[in-house]
């Protein structure tokens, strides 16, 4: 295996912060006496990702030293590559009574007790500095920046415990956590595995680059994100049905595993491409697909900035190999999927549609051409879009 990648979790070992039976009982016994914070859906998904090892080597929400070096240098304080801050922000009123060194009860948005934070530090941070460094802009119309400006001005740091790992409410069969995915890869004898991240429904261009990647490795880990996304993104249950259709009809079942990524989207473009790669490394992937405008939004990032950012790290430093793909399209001249690297076509001989145009077609009940989307997938999307429009 090349020295540029390996199968070890980021930082060397897989973190597990799910409470043991004894710890859980101790936390429950103290629950009514502890100060409590209600956390939003993104923080709850971050808590879960820390606990299952998806964010290894993090064991909790970031201390100031890690936060500052991640924001400025894309590294933890010890030099380990990491590109996105993972923090728990609160208001001044929430932070004021909390004592460093004590336990804090973490409740989800429904008021359910889901975790514990051992508070080691409270610190202020610059929202503008984080926005400009992580997202490349301080415009609040950027959905990631808006989250920063809407949240409190004080970060709480310290190790966390997840009270228990509940089955996913929508996709329990596809909840495959890092320890389990690693075992599945080993059981299948896969030495090299390529991960694919998406928040969008699968189309022919996705299928093309996934299968190109699959030609060179042992297995493909399809890992759609089902955490919090923008309100105008296609709902997770619709996207998952599309993947189920593809798994049933168009992929070799013995070489592909479909699982959910419970993280929330940041829409941080290049920075999030690194973050997504490291998360898939923790799930056991050795390779990661980076396509056009990975994790982008609007016009904030260049078409291939998310590929170029990998060059800012030394070869092998990330421990996972990016597989970089150009914008794919259907070529009417060669009558197959292609990119500019493989097709001699002129622009007018290429079939590729914007997401906005496809959504407009689907709302009208029109199906995109078969060269853009498998017809069964298009029908599923049209049904969902029309149902949404009817509400």
State how far Cα 34 lies from the chain centre.
32
Residue 10 lies in a domain: no
Give the domain CATH number at 127.
Answer: 3.10.400.10
When pLDDT is cut at 50, 70 and 90, the band that residue 357 belongs to is confident
| Domains contained in the chain, number | 2
Where do we find the tokens 């514990």?
A: 116
Contact predicate 218/192, CB 8 Å: yes
Residue 234 lies in a domain: yes
Question: Among 130, 162, 194, where does a domain finish?
Answer: 162
Q: Among 37-51, 218-232, 353-367, whose mean pLDDT is lowest?
A: 353-367
Residue 271 lies in a domain: yes
Share of the chain above pLDDT 90, in %: 82
Question: Among 112, 130, 162, where does a domain finish?
Answer: 162
Task: Check whether residue 194 and residue 157 sit in a common domain.
Answer: no
The reported pLDDT for the residue numbered 355 is 66
Residue 7 lies in a domain: no
Catalytic annotation on 133? no
Task: Check whether residue 53 and residue 146 sit in a common domain.
Answer: yes
Instruction: Report the pLDDT averaged over residues 371-389.
Output: 86
Q: Among 130-134, 212-216, 370-374, whose mean pLDDT is lowest?
A: 370-374
When pLDDT is cut at 50, 70 and 90, the band that residue 1 belongs to is very low
The reported pLDDT for the residue numbered 365 is 80
Task: Check whether residue 75 and residue 179 sit in a common domain.
Answer: no
Give the domain CATH number at 298.
Answer: 3.40.50.620
Task: Check whether residue 196 and residue 316 sit in a common domain.
Answer: yes
The reported pLDDT for the residue numbered 199 is 80
Instruction: Report the pLDDT averaged over residues 196-207.
Output: 88
Task: Check whether residue 137 and residue 201 sit in a common domain.
Answer: no
Q: Domain span at residue 138?
A: 21-162
Task: Check whether residue 142 and residue 196 sit in a common domain.
Answer: no
The reported pLDDT for the residue numbered 389 is 72
Is residue 182 scored above 90 in pLDDT?
Answer: yes
Query: Using CB atoms within 10 A of its CB, is residue 321 exposed (0-12), middle (13-18) or buried (19+)?
Result: buried
Please state, rounded to an integer, the average pLDDT across all residues of the chain.
Answer: 94
Given 36, 200, 255, 359, the catalytic residue: 200
Share of the chain above pLDDT 70, in %: 97
pLDDT tens-digit map of 216-269: 999 999 999 998 777 767 788 999 999 999 999 999 999 999 999 999 999 999
Residue 5 lies in a domain: no
Task: Check whether residue 180 and residue 232 sit in a common domain.
Answer: yes
Task: Check whether residue 43 and residue 73 sit in a common domain.
Answer: yes
Residue 92 lies in a domain: yes
The reported pLDDT for the residue numbered 235 is 85
d(CA 284, CA 190) in angstroms, rounded, equals 10
The reported pLDDT for the residue numbered 2 is 44
The reported pLDDT for the residue numbered 6 is 74
The reported pTM is 0.94
Task: Check whether residue 154 and residue 257 sit in a common domain.
Answer: no
Instruction: Report the pLDDT averaged over residues 353-373.
Output: 80
H-type alpha helices, the chain: 21-30, 41-52, 64-73, 92-95, 127-130, 143-150, 178-188, 204-214, 236-249, 270-282, 305-308, 355-363, 375-390
Residue 370 lies in a domain: yes
Considering only residues 366 and 101, tell me which one the structure prediction assigns the higher pLDDT. 101
Contact predicate 345/338, CB 8 Å: yes
Given 199, 204, 241, 266, the catalytic residue: 199
Question: Among 108, 136, 162, where does a domain finish?
Answer: 162
The winner for highest mean pLDDT among 1-15, 221-235, 323-337, 377-391 is 323-337
Residue 14 lies in a domain: no
Is residue 3 scored above 70 in pLDDT?
Answer: no
Which DSSP category does 295 fall into?
T
Contact predicate 276/289, CB 8 Å: no
Task: Check whether residue 40 and residue 177 sit in a common domain.
Answer: no
Instruction: Report the pLDDT averaged over residues 295-319.
Output: 94
Considering only residues 121 and 7, tell me which one the structure prediction assigns the higher pLDDT. 121
Task: Check whether residue 278 and residue 316 sit in a common domain.
Answer: yes
d(CA 277, CA 285) in angstroms, rounded, equals 9
Considering only residues 229 and 3, tell me which one the structure prediction assigns the higher pLDDT. 229
Task: Check whether residue 212 and residue 323 sit in a common domain.
Answer: yes
Length of the chain: 391
Catalytic annotation on 333? no
């Amino acid at each position: 295996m090349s020295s540029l990648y390996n199968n070890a979790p980021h930082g060397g070992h897989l973190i597990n912060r799910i409470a043991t039976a004894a710890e859980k009982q101790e936390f429950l016994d103290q629950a009514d006496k502890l100060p409590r914070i209600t956390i939003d859906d993104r923080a709850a998904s971050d808590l879960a990702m820390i606990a299952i090892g998806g964010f290894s080597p993090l064991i909790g929400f970031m201390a100031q030293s890690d936060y500052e070096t991640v924001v400025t240098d894309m590294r933890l304080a010890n030099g380990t590559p990491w590109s996105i801050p993972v923090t728990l922000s609160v208001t001044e009123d929430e932070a004021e009574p909390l004592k460093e060194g004590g336990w804090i009860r973490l409740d989800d948005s429904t008021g359910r007790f889901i975790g514990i934070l051992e508070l080691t530090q409270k610190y202020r941070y610059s929202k503008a500095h984080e926005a400009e460094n992580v997202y490349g802009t301080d415009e609040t119309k950027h959905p990631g920046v808006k989250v920063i400006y809407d949240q409190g001005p004080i970060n709480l740091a310290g190790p966390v415990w997840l009270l228990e790992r509940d089955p996913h409410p929508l996709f329990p069969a596809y909840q495959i956590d890092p320890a389990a995915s690693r075992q599945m890869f080993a059981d299948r004898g896969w030495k090299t595995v390529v991960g694919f991240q998406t928040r969008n429904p699968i189309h022919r261009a996705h299928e093309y680059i996934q299968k190109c990647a699959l030609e060179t490795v042992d297995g493909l880990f399809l890992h759609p994100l089902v955490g919090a996304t923008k309100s105008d993104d296609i709902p997770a249950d619709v996207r998952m049905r599309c993947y189920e259709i593809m798994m049933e009809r168009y992929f070799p079942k013995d070489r592909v595993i479909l699982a959910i990524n419970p993280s929330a989207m940041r829409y941080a473009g290049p920075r999030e491409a690194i973050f997504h790669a490291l998360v898939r490394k923790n799930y056991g992937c050795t390779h990661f697909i980076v396509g056009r405008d990975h994790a982008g939004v609007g016009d904030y990032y260049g078409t291939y900035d998310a590929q170029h950012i990998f060059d800012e790290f030394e070869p092998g430093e990330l421990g996972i190999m990016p597989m970089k793909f150009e914008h794919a399209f259907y070529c009417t001249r060669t009558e197959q999927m292609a990119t500019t690297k493989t097709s001699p076509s002129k622009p007018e001989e290429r079939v590729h549609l914007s997401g906005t145009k496809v959504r407009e077609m689907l709302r009208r009940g029109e199906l995109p051409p078969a060269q853009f989307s498998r017809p069964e997938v298009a029908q599923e999307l049209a049904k969902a879009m029309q149902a949404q429009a009817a509400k």
